[in-house]
Structure 1
Amino acid sequence: MTAAHATARRAQLFDSVVALFLAEGFAHLTLDDIAARLRCSKSTLYTLAASKDDLVRSAAVHFFTSAAVRVDAASDAATGTRERLAAYLGAVGEALAPASERFMTDLADFEPSRLVYERNTAIAAERVRGIIDDGVRAGDVRDVHAAFVADVAASVMVSIQSRALARRTGLDDAAAYRELATLLTAGIAR
């Protein structure tokens, strides 16, 4: 087996781990369960991470890193502040759509993965602020206090991430991000 083939196999296996976690969560799975479900050995899983905790954290990082690339591309492809904001938050919702309720609950309950989600939520809030700042400077949207609007967005994002919003409203994360996009884009309109 060539090094390139081994690297491709590891990447494919890691994608399969992420897909399994997204579909079914991870808290209830042991490494033996994961290996059996993916038809590989535990030693193969150990080539991805030193422990289940490391595998979960790495899977969360991979999921959010991959999502960030798609989300940023969607925002960058849009023109106009409201369109960029809607594209950005809509793409966040789309990126989270494959994540099952169980995955999101496990993510919130497991500190290492929760910290990854929190970090990505903070990055998203800062991106929202930047989009709004750019729009205010360009006169594309009404003169809002971008830091305030971004803080409101961040508060909602944290509520989404912590599962509190889902408990209060019944909205899954993807739907909540779409609603946030609608609310913010209407709120900054001229």
Structure 2
Amino acid sequence: MDTRLSFATARRTELFDGLVELFLAEGFAHLTLDAIAARLQCSKSTLYTLAGSKEQLVTAATKHFFKRATEQVEAKVAAAGTRDRIAAYLTAVGEALAAASEQFMNDLDAFAPAREVYERNTRIAARRVQELITLGVADGDFRGVNAEFAADLAATMMVRIQQGRVRAATGLDDANAYRELTSILTTGISV
């Protein structure tokens, strides 16, 4: 029984990984369940074991993407020295988003349930940035900036990045916008 459960869990993860890869590369609005099943080399009934509809499948895949990205980001933060945590965090966020095509970001913005997943993760990331700044100030790694203000500044830019406003205003894709935010923020708070 454990072997079957382990296989089912592995297969489920594999399917979600494939969905994320497909959606990041091509977006999802134009894809039908038949097309998704064909691309993942599975049946529609297999997709229905993951979610009850295409909309639910997209939302679940978006959650899977952000869960996986969060794990990767936090692993990079844990490996960084205390002075480099904020840069590691924002750089890793940018790297996670680098795989997202413009079509995916447009589809994400147009589909409210998936957009809410992104917005929720942006709020969580902003809180995490505030925590890292507060720790850096307490440790003496950053000058005595107001951590709430610095985090709010970062959060504002993160929301603008998520909403596509930075791309529209500057031409920077999300990953490069995060790299620029990292550079400006870490330079601004350094001792």
Q: Normalised by the size of structure 1, how large is the TM-score?
A: 0.96
1:1-190 to 2 correspondence within 5 Å?
2-81=4-83, 83-190=84-191
Letter in 2 for 1:46: Y
Whole-angstrom CA distance in 2 between matches of 1:20 and 1:188? 38
Q: Once the 2 structures are TM-superposed, how far is the Cα of residue 136 of structure 1 from its aligned partner?
A: 1.3
Query: Per the alignment, in what secondary structure is the counterpart of residue 39 of structure 2?
Result: helix
Query: Per the alignment, in what secondary structure is the counterpart of residue 50 of structure 2?
Result: coil
Whole-angstrom CA distance in 2 between matches of 1:152 and 1:2? 49
Query: Per the alignment, in what secondary structure is the counterpart of residue 52 of structure 2?
Result: coil
Letter in 2 for 1:148: F
1:2–1:137 Cα change, 3 Å: closer
Letter in 2 for 1:171: L
CA RMSD of the aligned region, Å? 1.2
Query: Per the alignment, in what secondary structure is the counterpart of residue 81 of structure 2?
Result: coil
Letter in 1 for 2:34: D
Letter in 2 for 1:108: D
Q: Normalised by the size of structure 2, how large is the TM-score?
A: 0.95
Query: Per the alignment, in what secondary structure is the counterpart of residue 179 of structure 2?
Result: helix
Whole-angstrom CA distance in 2 between matches of 1:168 and 1:30? 33
Runs of 4+ in structure 1 displaced over 3 angstroms? Answer: none
Whole-angstrom CA distance in 2 between matches of 1:8 and 1:20? 18
Percent identity at matched positions?
61
Any gaps of 5 or more consecutive residues in structure 2? none
- Which digits, 9 at most, give the CA deviation of each residue in 1:10-53, with x for residues without a partner? 22122111111011000111111111222221111101100001
Query: Per the alignment, in what secondary structure is the counterpart of residue 132 of structure 1?
Result: helix
Whole-angstrom CA distance in 2 between matches of 1:86 and 1:94? 12
Whole-angstrom CA distance in 1 between matches of 2:153 and 2:20? 31
Query: Per the alignment, in what secondary structure is the counterpart of residue 46 of structure 1?
Result: helix
Any gaps of 5 or more consecutive residues in structure 1? none
Whole-angstrom CA distance in 1 between matches of 2:154 and 2:144? 17
Whole-angstrom CA distance in 1 between matches of 2:5 and 2:143? 55
Q: Once the 2 structures are TM-superposed, how far is the Cα of residue 131 of structure 1 from its aligned partner?
A: 0.8
Whole-angstrom CA distance in 2 between matches of 1:139 and 1:3? 49
Q: Once the 2 structures are TM-superposed, how far is the Cα of residue 122 of structure 1 from its aligned partner?
A: 0.6
